[in-house]
Amino acid sequence: MLTLVEKILFIVAVGASVYFAGVGFYKVYKVIMRGAGEKPSVKAMTSRLWFAASSWITTRPIWKTRPWSSLFHIMISAGFVFYFLVNFGDVIEALFPVTFLGHNIIGDLYRFLADLATMSVLIGVIYFILRRFVFNDKALSYRDNVKLIERVKQGGIRRDSLIVALFILFHVGFRWVGNSFKLALEGGDAWQPFSTALSQLWAGWSEGALTVGEHVGFWLAIGLILAFLPYFPYTKHFHLIMSGVNFLTKPKRTSLGALEPINFEDESQQEFGVNKIEQLPWTHLVDAYSCIMCNRCQDVCPAYTTGKQLSPSALEINKRYYLNEHLTDLAAGKESEFSLIDFAISESAVWACTACGACVDICPVGNEPMFDILYIRRHQMLMENAFPTELKQAYRGMERNGNPWNISARDRMKWAAGLEVPTIDENPDFDVLWWVGCAPSYDPRAQETARALAKVLNAAGVNFAVLGEMERCTGDSARRSGNEALFYELAQGNIETLNEVMGDKKRRIVTTCPHCLHTLGKEYPQYGGNYEVIHHTQLLSELTAAKKISVARSKDVDMITFHDPCYLGRHNGITEEPRQLLLETNAFLIEMPRHGAQSFCCGAGGAQMWKEEEHGDAAVNVTRYNEAAATGAKTIAVGCPFCLTMMTDASKQADQGIKVKDIAEIIAERLTTERVEA
């Protein structure tokens, strides 16, 4: 227990630390609250409490990659959580003549866990010190072409990481040493094996010396907390708290990639999109403080891994350092002097994003850098009229003819010549509305997919119809390239059409394009368009399961690898049905290293289909093709017309004889009869 003088000094130190830390925390709070968007209600946070607490305590999302680093990270984070109780117990014992939690089974178990947490944290932090400062893990660095704020360029991350690492090391280390002096006085404790083992070093020391050692250990361990606390809001260590806030307050989305709409009916709104950091949604300001700086998002980003200027991690880190450097002014309500493009992300990086969602999916603390980029695009497009010139043709086509190819709407049904493909006028009592999409309507290669699906649907006796010339682009490419006004126009028109033709009868919409699937099913509800939308692989899987169609199993086993489209697997969680269909054909399915929800992008999303790829070391589609070719597969199966185009182009370029086919084509080729009765 502390002496009276020590207690007084301790109380004064606590007061000073809490005051100065409170000032910093309050500034962070004020800055975050400046962000756009509705703040969460108590009810909404309460409904997410279990998810947030379990995700925060277990660090569940971190286990998707880097298993060894993840293991050592949870050794630190779990120990950190338990150390809230340990430090509280140490303070209680220092101020009062009691044993925290007593000498009973609960107290014994607590002291064992405290001893275990001490070693866990020490081992974990030593691992990360070695990883960053001795072995210089390249995963924690950035290429020279990535925009970094000046302080980061000058080694800010390494310096801040070292400060945090040494704080943890010394705080926990001095607590271990101080506790060992205490146990030396008490004769050891079987429930604290590590501290007891260390206490053997002090054998033969006098009682006075051991008492001094115990007090010094306490002051160094707890004193470090009091000294560090005012600095805490400015450190990367802050993510340990803010990640929990992120899990608790992140808005509920209809899917991983569903964007927030702009209210064009609000005449008071003078500016659209995001230009300056305080214009970001407030949850995205929380993202900056939640960031672990682990670069997992960078590892999976198709733009970064192919040499482009985009690093989702660097974006969040630049935001964090800028906020710290301007915290006082921003908290006081002053406007930022610089735009995000000035310090956080380059213009090329903004337009390199494929909107694949890999960075959002992989982030262990729930950050969403993809959304920042797409909101910046909105400002560039709607306010600055600054966007890649190649997009003009696609925009013009969507505006005039309802498709980015800018081909006449009258030609939308030419692909169906000679096939039984009824329009809603010809079959108004349909059960399934087939949303054909622009690519299968106008792109010669994608038309083969449409013709194959028509063959299968007719063979199965599906009662379907298409919109024909009434169908227009869903607006996915417009929305993800920042042209929200064009998307809004297309969405309103399509919703009006769909609401009229769908009627009151329970009907489904099927589409071969995951982008149409996502937009119709996950984003049109924002404007009152609520429909049950399924992917064609889901419908085909239902038909095979119900024996509506029969597929001939190939005598020779086909070596096939399936490329999961980003907007099918990652954004909408549809991964099993395509594989089940392939297995029906007796295919030998070989998985690529990156598959399912962790699939690598084909490079066409985020409106990249309609513009030149940003400069880098490699093309995204070629990188993905090479991964597929490395499996030894003879066929690359896809479930998206954009993926079909990108993989086909890469296959032609490689000239290795590998075929690229949509799953509908593979099924259509193996139909045994025109119709199978159930």
Can you give the pLDDT at residue 673? 62
Crossing angle of helices 282-290/239-249, nearest 10°? 150
Q: What are phi and psi of 531, to 5 degrees?
A: -135, 155
623 neighbors 302 (Cβ within 8 angstroms): yes
- Domain final residue pick, 520, 545, 570: 545
336 and 405 part of one domain: no
DSSP 558: P
Q: Is the pLDDT of residue 675 over 60?
A: no
* Residue corresponding to tokens 């990249």: 608
524 and 569 part of one domain: no
The DSSP result for 452-507, as a single string, is: HHHHHHHHHT--EEE-GGG-----HHHHHTT-HHHHHHHHHHHHHHHHHHH-SS--
**Nearest partner of 469 among 394, 408, 513, judged by Cα:** 408
For residue 323, being part of any structural domain is answered with yes
Which is more confidently placed, 455 or 62? 455
For residue 550, being part of any structural domain is answered with no
Report the CATH number at residue 496.
3.40.50
428 and 377 part of one domain: no
Tokens of 128: 């990360």
319 and 465 part of one domain: no
Q: Mean pLDDT: which of 53-62, 402-411, 669-678 is highest?
A: 402-411
233 neighbors 320 (Cβ within 8 angstroms): no
Q: Could you give the C-alpha distances from 50 to 53, 57, 60, 79, in angstroms and in order?
A: 5, 11, 13, 20
* Residue corresponding to tokens 């999961």: 564
188 and 331 part of one domain: no
Report the CATH number at residue 358.
1.10.1060.10
119 and 183 part of one domain: yes
pLDDT in tens, 298-322: 999 999 999 999 999 999 999 999 9
For residue 448, being part of any structural domain is answered with yes
- Please provide the size of the chain in residues: 678
Whole-number CA gyration radius for the chain = 30
Give the Cα separation of 30 and 561 in Å (integer): 51
- Domain final residue pick, 320, 351, 382: 382
pLDDT in tens, 110-140: 999 999 999 999 999 999 999 999 999 999 9
Q: Is the pLDDT of residue 676 over 70?
A: no
Cα torsion for 295, 301, 303, 307, to the nearest 10°?
50
Q: Is the pLDDT of residue 677 over 50?
A: no
Average pLDDT of the chain to the nearest whole number: 94
507 and 632 part of one domain: no
For residue 247, being part of any structural domain is answered with no
Mean pLDDT across the stretch 58-86?
89
Task: Tally the domains of the chain.
Answer: 4
pTM equals: 0.93
For residue 515, being part of any structural domain is answered with yes
For residue 135, being part of any structural domain is answered with yes
Tokens of 63: 């286990």
Give the Cα separation of 322 and 156 in Å (integer): 12
The dihedral built from the CA positions of residue 247, 249, 254 and 257, taken in this order, carries a sign that is negative
Beta carbons within 10 angstroms of residue 546's beta carbon: 11
Tokens of 432: 């399934």
* Residue corresponding to tokens 């630049």: 318
- Domain final residue pick, 317, 347, 382: 382
499 and 646 part of one domain: no
621 and 601 part of one domain: yes
For residue 638, being part of any structural domain is answered with yes
123 and 177 part of one domain: yes
170 and 212 part of one domain: yes
Tokens of 105: 């089974």
pLDDT interval class at 63 (50, 70, 90): confident
Domain extent, residue 309, equals 277-382
620 neighbors 613 (Cβ within 8 angstroms): yes
Give the Cα separation of 40 and 365 in Å (integer): 18
Can you give the pLDDT at residue 270? 81
Give the Cα separation of 358 and 297 in Å (integer): 7
Tokens of 247: 């899990």
Q: Give the angle subtended at the CA of 535 by the CAs of 431 and 419, to the nearest 5°.
A: 60
For residue 647, being part of any structural domain is answered with yes
189 and 292 part of one domain: no
